[in-house]
Structure 1
């Protein structure tokens, strides 16, 4: 399994599906799930990769931050073990981070 972004499909009445579509068009591997259990701060997504740290984001604005999510995916792909040391290239997305789970 390569790196992928898991997006909540039910957040914001379809906004999760729209974001997943935009990410897929940008060449990012995406998986939709029914819930990431971050309902208090929709839209939620997780960035995962085998043997890598996992990042959980919430409060993502799908229309405004799709490119930031794609930028983080690129940083994550290049980061050893998924440990993104400097996420400034991901813009405001870094302020949506709920947590990082080590590999």
Structure 2
């Protein structure tokens, strides 16, 4: 199963620089996660938006994400990949990122 992180490139604090920072952190963590970018994810009231999904797993949409959240995103991705259905038993390890969840979409 391939996990995909999608970053809104039109968000003010997002874009190519944010996606690049996420790619670099994912590589450093040794994760096999693909990072993509889209023009808009309609999370404009809480930019920058980041989506995480994998086939058959719950998908997540985070808002107000930025460079300060990259480390927490890596922790989230490790937990997400380890969870068979994508649901986290305890969100506390993902720090401030847990307060930035906009949606959890069943797989």
| TM-score (norm: length of structure 1) | 0.90
Correspondence for 2:67:
63
Correspondence for 1:5:
5
Structure 1 portions without partners, runs of 5+: none
- Deviation digits for residues 4-62 of structure 1, max 9, x if unmatched? 1111011016x3322211111122421100011001110101110011110011111x1
Q: Which has the higher helix share?
A: 1
Q: How does 1:75-94 map to 2 (within 5 A)?
A: 75-94=79-98
CA RMSD, 1 decimal: 1.3
Correspondence for 1:18:
17
Structure 2 portions without partners, runs of 5+: 28-32
How far did 1:66 drift?
1.0
Equivalenced residue count is 101
Correspondence for 2:36:
31
